[in-house]
Amino acid sequence: MWKKAIDNLIPLFITLLIVILRFTFPNKLSFFTEVAIFSIYVMGNNILYGYIGLVSFGQPFYLGVGGYAVAIFLAYVGHSPIIALFLGILSGVVLGLVLGPSFIRLGSSYFALINAALCAIGVFIFERLLIDITRGNDGLWFRSRMTKLPLLDIRLPQNFFIFVVIIFFFVLLLYRYMDRSTLGTMFRSLKNNEEKLRFIGFDTFKVKWVGFTLASALSTFAGALYAINFGFVNPSLGENTRAVEVIVATLIGGSGTVYGPFFGALTFLGIKDIVSRLITRWELVVGILTIIVLFRFSKGIWGSIQQYIGVLREKLKLLG
Amino acid sequence: MDLSLWIPAVIYGFSVSGIFFLVSLGLSIGFGLMRVVNLEQMLYYTFSAYMTYTMVTLTGMFWLGLMCGVFLAAFLGFLVETQLLRRVYGKPMLFSMVVTFSFFLIGIGAIQYIWGLSPKPVSSPTQLMITIFGTQIPLYRLLIILTAGVVYVMIQLLLQKTILGKAIRAGIENPDNLQGLGININRIFTITFVIASALAGLGGALNAPLVMVGPYMGFDMLLYAFITVILGGLGSIKGTLISSLIIGQVISLGGTLWSPLAFVAPFVVMFLVILIRPTGLYGVKGIV
């Protein structure tokens, strides 16, 4: 019974952890806001990489779409950040539903390559094709057009942090729910043995489609939050050179786990924060980090914790 | 129809195709034979281009630079295959793609460390113009087309006429059976990989005078290589050739019609083909 109670409280603990960390390092506010947003982004990638077993080198594209959905709405149409965020999620759902059927049919290698290609064309569209709307590399600014929410003025960074943490908590709850539901089980079995899942009578195409749509919705949501956080977007949000960052974060946290994305995001951004102060060749470090994690630390942080708890429990059982 | 506009466009298209064919062959064969999508292939392309740049600035001889670039690419390919990729064979596709992609990033970091961030120009070895059908065409473009053609013929000869080539083709069909015949498959892998990386290096050296040599040139080329192999089908040499011909013409003719088309049209063509045939035009069936 205790086990179950603790289990249910983990999302709360994690949310508390990020709040405590924010107050322990008071001048690192923007960093922890980014951790919360990046966690949501990593969760999206985790559905693809950890659950379904597809790797995509084009995740920044979805981030960019979410960001631009928010930016275009706020800069030209409306003033409410909440509607903008909903539009951000909606753009991801539409994208997932539209692109899904053609992408899901592809093999895993084609899937990775076509997403990378999509990402490149995305940058081109944001930067040059729609330059009249997106203002190209200058970026689209909209901070002054945002109105405040009824209870919270999210234009202030400290309030936006609270807002993001609340969102993060609910996303984490939903993510945990997804993990325990039949859908989560189907995702995992898809990775282990797709043929068997089909044999049992599930439509694997639909399962993958749902997974792909969920992943892209989470990514665009993160992109939308990024946009509101910065108050502007430019094409670098969707840059394909950054595609591997989210994959590394997924791996560090522990792919295929519920709480892994948070730890991955925290560790990855922490390393980035420290390293980028010391040296400028960031790609080199990301690459080496990925290879080390892949070969030596494949379970990731949360995976290792889970294993450790499992071993501990066995020992306790033996002791009586 | 203004012929003086379209004939150069077609020839430019062919030269673009030549480069694409050279650089994406490694990606395609690597997949067909080793079941690894080696995304770090473009590293050899970039390193070779930089080597050409260094040799041209030191000695002024482009062809010497090209040879050095190809050798450097082949040597790097040898190192990577024997030291890194050996550990990846047989692992899930997911794993190998992330490994090779991160290795690609490490390489880009190393290039930035050695040669710096700023793009470097490489002067073309010949400024000669040749008149074809009344239009002026740079000789260098024709040389690229010629080189790519020679490479294709030589690869076909290698694959069809020699024992090594037969072993490679058998390996693409079924690696386990090849091993069962007592052929050292690791050796075949290494040889194929070295050839493929040398060709990517050749592509890089040839492309160096046409583009600015910069640390991210591999990234730009990687996307076209992706398009080429996806369209042609992973694992097929014929498919790579045909799709690079198509993509080259699409870029060149599309760009002549309306300049943004040069960038968007190849993607559109690829998406359309993928919608109809998920394994590309000549993809190896049964593996994904």
* Closest CA in chain A for residue B287: A107
**pLDDT over threshold 90, residue B3:** no
Answer for the pair B41, B29: CB distance below 8 angstroms, yes or no.
no
Tell me which residue in B216, B270, B278 faces A117 most closely, judged by beta carbons: B270
* Distance (Å, whole) CA B21 – CA B151: 10
Q: With respect to residue B14, please indicate whether it lies within any of the assigned structural domains.
A: no
**Average pLDDT rounded to a whole number, residues B166-176:** 81
Burial A221-245 (b: 16+ CB within 10 A, else e): bbbbbbbbbbbbbbbebbbbbbbbb
- Judge: B98–A281 Cβ closer than 8 Å, yes or no: no
Give residue A118's pLDDT: 85
* SS3 track for chain A: CHHHHHHHHHHHHHHHHHHHHHHHCHHHHHHHHHHHHHHHHHHHHHHHHHHHCCCCCCHHHHHHHHHHHHHHHHHHHCCCHHHHHHHHHHHHHHHHHHHHHHHHCCCHHHHHHHHHHHHHHHHHHHHHHCHHHHCHHHCEECHHHCCCCCCCCCCCHHHHHHHHHHHHHHHHHHHHHHHHCHHHHHHHHHHHCHHHHHHHCCCHHHHHHHHHHHHHHHHHHHHHHHHHHHCEECHHHHCHHHHHHHHHHHHHHCCCCCCHHHHHHHHHHHHHHHHHHHCCCHHHHHHHHHHHHHHHCCCHHHHHHHHHHHHHHHHHHHHC
Give residue B288's pLDDT: 47
Query: CB distance from A302 to chain B under 8 Å?
Result: no
- Judge: B99–A287 Cβ closer than 8 Å, yes or no: no
Q: Suggest the residue from A49, A109, A244 to mutate for an interface test with chain B (most B CBs closer than 10 A).
A: A109
Q: With respect to residue B235, please indicate whether it lies within any of the assigned structural domains.
A: no
| Phi and psi angles of residue B177, each rounded to the nearest 5 degrees, phi first | -65, -40
**pLDDT over threshold 50, residue A285:** yes
Answer for the pair A74, A146: CB distance below 8 angstroms, yes or no.
yes
CA distance A16 to chain B (A): 33
Radius of gyration from C-alpha coordinates of chain A? 20
Q: With respect to residue B194, please indicate whether it lies within any of the assigned structural domains.
A: yes
Q: Over the stretch A42-90, which tens digit does the pLDDT of each residue have? A: 999 998 888 888 888 888 999 989 999 988 888 888 788 888 888 999 9
Give residue A320's pLDDT: 63
A-chain residues near B99 (CB < 8 A): 290-291, 294
**Average pLDDT rounded to a whole number, residues B212-241:** 84
Q: Which residue range is the domain that position B65 belongs to?
A: 20-216
* Closest CA in chain B for residue A250: B98
Q: Over the stretch B106-140, which tens digit does the pLDDT of each residue have? A: 888 888 888 888 888 877 777 777 777 777 778 88
Q: With respect to residue B148, please indicate whether it lies within any of the assigned structural domains.
A: yes
Q: Which two tokens stand for residue A5?
A: 């109670």
Q: With respect to residue B107, please indicate whether it lies within any of the assigned structural domains.
A: yes
* Distance (Å, whole) CA B174 – CA B168: 10
Quickly count: other Cβ atoms within 10 Å of residue A156's Cβ.
11
**What pLDDT band is residue A152 in, cutting at 50, 70 and 90?**
confident
Give residue A222's pLDDT: 92
What is the count of structural domains for chain B? 1
- Judge: A284–B104 Cβ closer than 8 Å, yes or no: no
* Distance (Å, whole) CA B65 – CA B55: 5
Answer for the pair A262, A39: CB distance below 8 angstroms, yes or no.
yes
- Judge: A283–B278 Cβ closer than 8 Å, yes or no: no
Q: With respect to residue B11, please indicate whether it lies within any of the assigned structural domains.
A: no
Instruction: Give the three-state DSSP class for B133.
Output: coil
* Distance (Å, whole) CA B278 – CA B286: 12
CA distance A283 to chain B (A): 5
- Judge: A281–B260 Cβ closer than 8 Å, yes or no: no
**Average pLDDT rounded to a whole number, residues B230-250:** 86
**pLDDT over threshold 50, residue B154:** yes
**pLDDT over threshold 90, residue A94:** yes
Q: With respect to residue B153, please indicate whether it lies within any of the assigned structural domains.
A: yes
Q: Suggest the residue from A54, A114, A194, A283 to mutate for an interface test with chain B (most B CBs closer than 10 A).
A: A283
Give residue B150's pLDDT: 92
Q: Over the stretch A18-30, which tens digit does the pLDDT of each residue have? A: 888 888 888 888 8
| DSSP 8-state symbol, B213 | B
**pLDDT over threshold 50, residue A266:** yes
**pLDDT over threshold 60, residue B63:** yes
* Distance (Å, whole) CA A44 – CA B109: 28
Q: Over the stretch B72-115, which tens digit does the pLDDT of each residue have? A: 999 999 998 888 888 888 777 778 888 888 888 888 888 888 88
B-chain residues near A248 (CB < 8 A): 102
Q: By mean pLDDT, which of A130-144, B132-146, B172-186, B253-267 is the weakest? A: A130-144
- Judge: B223–A240 Cβ closer than 8 Å, yes or no: yes
Q: With respect to residue B272, please indicate whether it lies within any of the assigned structural domains.
A: no
Give residue A271's pLDDT: 86
- Judge: A286–B271 Cβ closer than 8 Å, yes or no: no
Instruction: Give percent of chain B with pLDDT exceeding 70.
Output: 97
Answer for the pair A71, A144: CB distance below 8 angstroms, yes or no.
no
Give contacts of A 107-146 with B, CB under 8 A: 107-110, 112-114, 116-118, 120-121, 124, 128-129
Instruction: Give the three-state DSSP class for B132.
Output: strand
CA distance B149 to chain A (A): 27
| Sign of the CA dihedral running B75, B77, B78, B80 | positive
Q: Over the stretch A298-318, which tens digit does the pLDDT of each residue have? A: 788 888 888 888 888 888 887
The mean pLDDT value of chain A amounts to 84
* Distance (Å, whole) CA B152 – CA A232: 49
**pLDDT over threshold 60, residue A226:** yes
Query: CB distance from A287 to chain B under 8 Å?
Result: yes
Instruction: Give percent of chain A with pLDDT exceeding 70.
Output: 99
* Distance (Å, whole) CA B47 – CA A193: 40
